[in-house]
Structure 1
Amino acid sequence: MVNRKELDPERSASAAFGALLRSLRDERGWTQDELGDRIRCSGAHISAVETGRRSPTDAFAASADRALGTGDRLQRQSRAARYTALLEGFPEYVKHEERASEIRLYEVGVIPGILQTPEYASALTARAVERGAITPEQGEERISLVKERQAALIRTPPPLVFVVLDESCLRRPVGETATMDGQWKRLVDFAALPNTVLQVAPFDMGDRRPLSLPLYVLTMQNRSLISYAESAQRGQLERDSASVVPLLTAYHQLQAEALSQAASVVMIEQLRRGTP
C-alpha cells in the first residue's frame, strides 16, 4: 500500500493503541474512511490515531469497539495510552474499581488515591515533577485520575471499602503542615462512614506482617475477584480467582494483626495533636 506508515507499538502506549486499531481494521478489510464512517469521524482522524499523532479518547475507543465488535479491548488499551504516568495494569484496574461492590486496599508509604485530599495529591505530584520522575502533563493526568476515582465511589449503593495503611503512610510528611493535618482529618472522616473500615498496620507488627507491598483486591457484583499488585517499576492485574484468593487470605491476615479502627483513629488524632 502506497504511503503506508510503519507502526512501532513499542514506542509508546499511544503507538500500541494505533497499531492495534490498524490491525483490527485490516482484519475486516476496511479503509480508514470506512471505519470513520462507522464511528462518525473522518478518515484523517483515524489516521492520526493510528500513527500516534492523536491520543484516543474513551468515547473514540468505545465507538471503535462497537464498530469492530471487540468488546472493550480498545477501551482498555486507550486507558493505558491516556494515563502514561501509570504502571501497566492500573488504568484497567481503575475501571473495575468503579463497578466493584467491595474494595480492599493496602498501601505503603503514601495515602492511596481514593483517600487523598486535593492538597495532598497536588503536593505529592509536584515533588514527582520536580524530581523529573514524571512530566507536568503526566502530573495533571495523575491528579485528574484521583478526582475520577473519588467521584466514582459516590454511587448508590456505595461500595464497601476496607483500607489498611502501613504506619509509614501516616508519618511520611507531604506538603506543608496544614496539608498533612487536612489529610489526617480526611482519614478520620472516612473512618466514620457507614460503608468503610480504616485500619493502621503499625511498625511494631514486625515479621507478623503478611504483606510488604501495596495490594488492591476487588470483589465484583458477581462475586468474582480481581487483584492489582504493585512494585516500584511494575504493576500486575490478576483476574484469575485461583490466583487472587491467596492474596485475599493474606489481606485478611493483615487485618487481623492491624490495629482496630478505633485504635487507628486514636493514632491519627495523636498525630494531629503532635503527641507521640
Structure 2
Amino acid sequence: MVNRKQLDPEDGPQAAFGARLRMKRDARGWTQDELAERIGCTGSHISAVETGRRPPTRRFAASVDRVFDTGDQFERQSMAVRQTALLEGFPEYVAHEGRAAEVRLFESGVIPGPLQTRDYACEFANTAAERGDITPEQATERVDYLIGRQAALFRTPPPLIFVVLDESCIRRPIGGPDVMDAQLVRLLEFAELPNSWLQIAPYSMGARRPFNRVVHLLTMPDRSLMSYVESQTQGYLDRELSSVLPLVRNYHQLQIAAVSQAESVAMIEELRKGIV
C-alpha cells in the first residue's frame, strides 16, 4: 500500500494499541472504512487511532473487542494509553510483562502490584487522591489498571514468577487489620502456585541486600532480557545487556541470601497471628 505509515509497537502503549488494531484488521482483510462501519465510527477515526494521532477511548476499545471477539484485551490495553497517574515508562513495561516467559520482582516497603488485593491497592490509590497527587477518577483507573495487569500475568500458560520481598513489605501495615490479613493470605496463596517462588529478604541481610529500590526483570519468550527500575518520580525500561545483566546477577545473589520459600511462608503465617 502506497504511503502506508510504518507502525512500531515499541514506541509506547498508544503505538502498541494502533499496531495491534491494524494487525487484527489486516488479518480480516478489512479496510479502515469496513472496520469503522462495524464499530460505528469513521475510517478517518480508525486511521488516527492506528497511527497514534488519537488515543483510543474505553468505549472504542470495547467496540473493537466486540468486533474481533477478543474478550476485553483491547479495553485493558487502552487503559495503558489513557492512564496518566502512572510513572513514565511503567505502561510500556507492563505491556512487555504481559508477554514475558519469566518475571522477577523485588520490592521494598510495598507488596508488588501483581500480588496486591484490590483493597490493599485501593488504600494507596485513595491516599494518593487525598493528597492531591491524582484525581479520584485516576485513583479508580489506577486500581483497575492493576487488576488488568494481574490478569495478564496469570494467563494460560502462565509465566514463571519469582518474587523477593524486603521484610518491610509484610510488616508495614496498610489499611486496617482485615485489609492487611487478606493481603498476607494472598501472598500465601501465591506461594502455593506451581509457577511461583516467594522469598523474604530479612532485615538481618543488612548491607548484603543488593537493591535499595524497585527492580523488575523480564525474560521474554525469545530469551531476551529487560529491566525496569523506579525512582520516586520516574520509571526506566532498559534492554541493554551491559546494564541488565548486572541486575540479573544481583537478583540471583539476592535469592541465595534471602530465606527459603518455606521459611518465608512461616514468617508470614507467624505475622498473621498478631493481626487476626
Asked if Structure 1 and Structure 2 have the same fold, meaning a TM-score greater than 0.5 normalized by the shorter chain, the answer is yes
Whole-angstrom distance in 2 between the partners of 1:257 and 1:45: 54
**TM-score for the superposition, normalised by structure 2:** 0.74
Unaligned runs of 5+ residues in structure 1 are 1-16, 22-34, 64-76
Residue matched to 2:219? 219
Look up the SS of the partner of 1:198 in the other structure.
Answer: strand
Residue matched to 1:238? 238
Deviation per CA, 1:212-267: give whole Å up to 9, x if none: 11000010111001111011111000122232111111111111111111111111
Residue matched to 2:266? 266
**Which letter maps to 1:213?**
R
- The higher radius of gyration belongs to 1
Q: Is the Cα contact below 8 Å between 2:104 and 2:162 reproduced in 1?
A: yes
Q: Aligned pair count?
A: 230
Residue matched to 2:257? 257
Q: Is the Cα contact below 8 Å between 1:80 and 1:88 reproduced in 2?
A: no
Residue matched to 2:132? 132
Whole-angstrom distance in 2 between the partners of 1:252 and 1:230: 20
Deviation per CA, 1:82-107: give whole Å up to 9, x if none: 11111111101111111111000001
Q: Is the Cα contact below 8 Å between 1:167 and 1:203 reproduced in 2?
A: yes
Q: Is the Cα contact below 8 Å between 1:88 and 1:235 reproduced in 2?
A: yes
Percent identical residues: 59
| Within-5 A mapping of 1:76-95 | 81-95=81-95
Q: Is the Cα contact below 8 Å between 2:229 and 2:236 reproduced in 1?
A: yes
Look up the SS of the partner of 2:262 in the other structure.
Answer: helix
Residue matched to 1:190? 190
**CA shift at 1:39, angstroms?**
6.3
Task: Assess, with a 3 A threshold, how the Cα gap between structure 1 residues 47 and 129 changes in structure 2: closer, same or farther.
Answer: farther
Q: Is the Cα contact below 8 Å between 2:80 and 2:145 reproduced in 1?
A: no
Whole-angstrom distance in 2 between the partners of 1:119 and 1:79: 20
Look up the SS of the partner of 2:162 in the other structure.
Answer: strand
Whole-angstrom distance in 1 between the partners of 2:162 and 2:113: 14
Task: Assess, with a 3 A threshold, how the Cα gap between structure 1 residues 47 and 103 changes in structure 2: closer, same or farther.
Answer: closer
Look up the SS of the partner of 1:174 in the other structure.
Answer: coil
Residue matched to 1:176? 176
Residue matched to 1:118? 118
Whole-angstrom distance in 2 between the partners of 1:37 and 1:236: 38
Task: Assess, with a 3 A threshold, how the Cα gap between structure 1 residues 192 and 47 changes in structure 2: closer, same or farther.
Answer: closer
Unaligned runs of 5+ residues in structure 2 are 1-13, 19-30, 65-76
**TM-score for the superposition, normalised by structure 1:** 0.74
Residue matched to 2:164? 164
Task: Assess, with a 3 A threshold, how the Cα gap between structure 1 residues 209 and 147 changes in structure 2: closer, same or farther.
Answer: same
Look up the SS of the partner of 1:233 in the other structure.
Answer: coil
Residue matched to 1:153? 153
Q: Is the Cα contact below 8 Å between 1:79 and 1:91 reproduced in 2?
A: no
**Which letter maps to 1:120?**
Y
Task: Assess, with a 3 A threshold, how the Cα gap between structure 1 residues 101 and 48 changes in structure 2: closer, same or farther.
Answer: closer
